Amino acid sequence: MTDYDRDPEAIAWARAKVQREVDKLRGWERTAAERGNAEQSMQWRKMANLLQMRFLGTGNCVIAAFDERLPEYKAIRDRAVKA
């Protein structure tokens, strides 16, 4: 890991930059849909979803080139259902 990987400000900056790109792609998706171009709209949606999934995530675990925050093992263990 580089120092940037541990720097909260660098991670926040990178996440914000990716979010701006996702927002731009979502806008292009809407524009294409409004113009009746379903195929192009779907392509913009796929690209936005890929960026969202790969670099921003949706939960506690984000794995990306600049950001890897894995949940604590204890938290996972505590949430586990005992058999």
How does pLDDT run across 25-75, given as a tens digit for each residue? 999 999 999 999 999 999 999 999 988 887 776 655 555 555 555 556 666
How does pLDDT run across 5-29, given as a tens digit for each residue? 567 787 788 888 888 999 999 999 9
Q: Which residues contact 32 (CB under 8 A, 6 or more apart)?
A: 38, 40, 41, 44
What pLDDT, on the 0 to 100 scale, is given for residue 24?
97
For the entire predicted model, the pTM comes to 0.65
Q: Which amino acid is at 83?
A: A
Distance of CA 16 to the CA centre of its chain: 10
